[in-house]
Chains A and B, each alone.
Chain A
């Protein structure tokens, strides 16, 4: 059974840092790109960052570029999101999502339950 389990969320002051983790199981972790997607309270989905299966390619939304760093440890089946210089507008539930692709068509087939990050003084 595929599982994605986020952790590391919490309350942090503006300008602070947090590191989120996403522990994966039930599939060959290194074979899949994994995404971070966030959702501010009462708002829509926002793509945050993506890392390829090998970890060699990373992508970021402009809103987090230069502040967030995505990484993965394929030996531990774990994805990370290091978040620095946090702002109030980063307050959201952060989801990790596994991307499945077949014949060039992709979608998120599994999502974690999310971890809440609150940036407030």
Chain B
């Protein structure tokens, strides 16, 4: 089975910082990757799918890139409302594994 490994598992950054979260697949998954944001006490919300397609309504400071085994989620200018846990998710075939999550806090 393909494993999805995110890094870091947590990070603290200042408002306005550029933040990058990485997701690595143990085997190639082309661009069949989505990113989700989960705020405390809330259900997850899709940010990016097809590795780099921004979901409608998501602020443009969020972007995704990558293909194959290495993917990144970037927040160009961190805002206070971006405090959340972020998950990558492979959806090409079962098992539909999530990454373990990256908890993002404001410094």
Contact = CB atoms under 8 A, between A and B. Distances in A.
B74 to A, nearest CB: 18
Pick from B1, B43, B49 the residue with the most CB of A within 10 Å.
Answer: B43
B7 interface: no
B97 A47 contact: yes
Contacts of A37: 98
The 4 closest A-B pairs by CB, nearest first: A105-B50, A59-B94, A107-B49, A44-B101
Given A109-B46, A111-B43, A113-B43, A35 B96 contact: yes
Contact of A105 (B36, B43, B53, B94): B53
A2 interface: no
A11 interface: no
A10 B28 CA distance: 39
Contacts of A107: 34, 46, 49, 55, 91
> Secondary structure at chain A's binding surface: helix, strand, loop or mixed?
strand
Contacts, number: 57
Interface of A: 35, 37, 44-47, 50, 59-62, 95, 99, 104-109, 111-114
> Secondary structure at chain B's binding surface: helix, strand, loop or mixed?
loop
Interface string B78-103: 00000001010101001111111100
Contacts of B38: 45
Given A45-B44, A105-B31, A107-B34, 10 more contacts: A35-B96, A44-B98, A44-B101, A45-B38, A60-B94, A62-B1, A104-B50, A105-B50, A106-B91, A108-B44
A35 B34 CA distance: 15
A70 B94 CA distance: 15
Contacts of B49: 105-107
B95 A59 contact: yes
A45 B98 contact: yes
A36 to B, nearest CB: 11
